[in-house]
Amino acid sequence: MPDSHEQPSPPLSPGGSTVASTAFGGSSAASSAGSKQSKKTLKEHEEKDEDLEIRWEGRYTGGMVDGIREGKGEVTFPNGDVYRGEFRNGMRDGQGVLLQASGVRYEGGWFRSMRHGAGRERWPNGDVYEGEYKLDAYHGQGALKSRGGWYRGGFEAGAKVGKGTMNFNSGAQYEGEWLNNRFHGEGTYTWSDNRRCVRARV
């Protein structure tokens, strides 16, 4: 995004610069026309700035290279979300913290403005996820605390997949294989009174 302190160059009159035109016999009318043109150019510049701000989403302060967000910075989005962290090629990339207006907080890795790598996310209701992300979804090994209990194990594209253990708030526990957030394959379900059900692979 262009620097907000950078001002547009004064417009040129048909005979060169506005100053040169006046100095070499330019009429007051020409000066007035130049002034109007300057105001018009400034307005166009401000409109261009506004368009760029919309395109880049939000108001930004921080490092820039050739007009592109680069390095460390902070951006406040129109919806009230705030991101503080690293940028690359204009996108959130590296390590950073996103504070959403809804109260959700994410801290960790980013890639092309998506959560990626190791991270931790916390919701206002107390739910927490800590683990690996891939392209904005839980992916790899992680731990998820939700209203149902604690799950620790594998994730794929945001769903519980592979081996994992779920400790339910009721005191029950399931340890075994998962597919798309459901028990699948081999596993053992233990009730709070220690009764057990062993599942074979299906």
Mean pLDDT calculated for residue range 172-182? 97
> Confidence band (pLDDT; 50, 70, 90) for 201?
low
pTM: 0.71
Mean pLDDT calculated for residue range 21-30? 29
pLDDT of residue 57: 79
Please write the tens of the pLDDT for every residue from 26-52: 333 333 444 444 444 444 444 444 444
pLDDT of residue 183: 94
> Confidence band (pLDDT; 50, 70, 90) for 87?
very high
Domain edges within the chain: 12-56, 91-199
Of 57 and 120, the one with more pLDDT:
120
Does the structure show a pLDDT above 70 at 168? yes
For the structural domain made of 91-199, what CATH number should be given?
2.20.110.10
In contact, 139 and 119? CB cutoff 8 Å: no
